[in-house]
A and B are shown apart, each in its own frame.
Chain A
Amino acid sequence: MKALTRKLWRELWQMKGRVFAITLVVTSGVATFIMFISTVHSLEFTRTKFCHDYNFADVFVNLKRAPENLKDKIKDINGVNQLETRVCAQAKLDIKGFAESVTGKIISIPDDGKLLLNRLYIRKGRLPEPFRDDEVVINETFAQAHNLNPSDQFAAVINGKWKKLTITGIALSPEDILLMKAGAMSPDFKRYGALWMTRKAISKAYDMDGAFNDVVLTLYPGAKLSDVIIDNILGRYGGLKKKGSILAEDVGKGLKNAGDEIEKFGKKFLLSECLECDSCQMHQLCFLTFTFPEVTQQI
């Protein structure tokens, strides 16, 4: 062994205590790092898989009212893959033992109970019966926040009418992994929840028979959002913005502004905007969720 090599080993041996401590610190640092990295990877993978398995939509469009037969027109747009029309609404909820105001976002389930997009993962219970208009499925975080279980009841003010609802199931939805009220800085599980009811029940309550006010769709891999200008079709039905509707440019701007959100949510992010709608002169909430097509492609 060369003299200088020997010097190295001897001096390392002389400070073996320190060397050991440093090695330990570095090792545990690296181990922790690897642990977190793999946690992040597996969370990312789980999220991607969940979004894929439960058919998370690429594009969300919110409008005032459009006839159901418009569905085929949207479907014909180049790049649009699967599509589902829905009826969505906001309702004040009345939860026993909770005096503050609670908002529920009601989403329709097709009458056959088969959601095409944003499918539900039922944690407990079942979906509402097709003919029942007082049965709901609620999202898990909301249920946990109020300690609600299947067969529990609460009330909702649906289109001005007070209605008693029975919980039939607790569910997870890729749409509501992080459920936030528009303008909120952080999720509030106690004051904001998602409710799923049969389409028939909501349509009746909101006078939406043969119509829809919400469309979710997936794009073909590689399709660009700018190619899919739903706006042209839905604009006159109160969808999106009249003055400068959400075209590719707006989405681009939104993407830039939503930089932080991209950070938070990785490749999928939620962009919620309060848009002024000309026709109704009221603030309408527009959720636009956008999945990068490359990601969809990889799955």
Chain B
Amino acid sequence: MSDLKEKFFQVRELTKIYKMGEVEVHALRGVNLELYAGELVVLLGPSGSGKSTLLDIMGGLDTATGGFVSYRGKELTNATDKEFTQYRRFHVGFVFQFYNLISSLTARENVSVVTEIAEKPMVPEKALDLVGLSERLNHFPAQLSGGEQQRVAIARAISKNPAVLLCDEPTGALDSQTGVVVLQALERINRELGTATAIITHNVDIAGMADRVIHLSNGKIAEVTVNKVKKSASELQW
């Protein structure tokens, strides 16, 4: 099935070495990977295995030491700063473990920060509706639960209609029930908007909702499994 879809990302022999004075940390040691349009992948792996590093490089937040990454046929590894900014601004959405909302702005305004500079944004209300927060438009982050805040962050990430959504432990700070609600929001966006989504998690149970599960270990891809039957997020429990 994947073969018929457009290859969004192509990652070849990607390496990343962090130099800490004398010490060299090999965060990535030759990663090969594809990400297809519309698919939902889950990245699993022990702490320090390089998950965040990989996602940061794919999202243009960090640069690689070796190898290359291409996005829709364009090589990211030697893009200019300006191209990186354009890429981040118009093509990728990020969701982090900590929501990074602006505390003095309401949910709607937090989303507006992005829609005001995006090329083809949706209206903030629609983005918040997609994550089930249409009743909370005028709440400030301090007036929202952790799960609600994470959903505002997701609404903010998808409001620019990105082709790709990269999520680094989006449920890491949430209990399982709240986590499920957040995952449902991601699932819905993936299904309804066709946004290719990559989710990093430590939680093996979450892998059930993915099309493919990529296992990282010690800076390399250890295994890629395809879920014949995808679970819906609401069925998940941990």
Contact = CB atoms under 8 A, between A and B. Distances in A.
Contacts of B104: 7, 10-11, 14
A11 B105 CA distance: 9
A214 to B, nearest CB: 76
Interface string B99-118: 00010110001101100100
Nearest to A4: B113
A106 to B, nearest CB: 77
A161 interface: no
Given A7-B109, A10-B104, 9 more contacts: A3-B109, A3-B113, A3-B116, A4-B113, A6-B105, A6-B109, A7-B102, A7-B105, A14-B104
A41 B104 CA distance: 47
Residue from B104, B110, B113 having most chain A Cβ neighbours under 10 A: B104
Contacts of B109: 3, 6-7
Considering residues A3, A11, A14, which has the most beta carbons from chain B within 10 angstroms of its beta carbon?
A3
Contacts of A4: 113
Interface string B163-191: 00000000000000000000000000000
B56 to A, nearest CB: 25
Contacts of A14: 104
Contacts of B113: 3-4
A275 B113 CA distance: 78
How many interface residues does chain B have, given as a range? Answer: under 10
A2 interface: yes
A3 B105 CA distance: 8
Contacts of B105: 3, 6-7, 10
A14 B142 CA distance: 15
B125 to A, nearest CB: 14
Interface of A: 2-4, 6-7, 10-11, 14
A4 B110 CA distance: 9
11 contacts: A2-B112, A2-B116, A3-B105, A3-B110, A3-B112, A3-B116, A4-B113, A6-B105, A6-B109, A7-B105, A7-B109
A250 B104 CA distance: 70
A17 B109 CA distance: 25
Interface string B32-55: 000000000000000000000000
Interface in B90-136: 102, 104-105, 109-110, 112-113, 116
Interface string B55-95: 00000000000000000000000000000000000000000
Contacts of B116: 2-3
B115 to A, nearest CB: 9
Contacts of A10: 104-105
Nearest to A2: B116
Contacts of A7: 102, 104-105, 109
A132 to B, nearest CB: 85
B153 to A, nearest CB: 15
Nearest to B105: A7
Nearest to B140: A10
A140 B101 CA distance: 73
A2 B124 CA distance: 13
Nearest to B110: A3
Contacts of A2: 112, 116
A144 B116 CA distance: 74
A7 B104 CA distance: 6
Nearest to B113: A3
A4 to B, nearest CB: 6
A12 to B, nearest CB: 10
A10 B110 CA distance: 13
B54 to A, nearest CB: 31
Nearest to B102: A7
B92 to A, nearest CB: 20
Contacts of A6: 105, 109
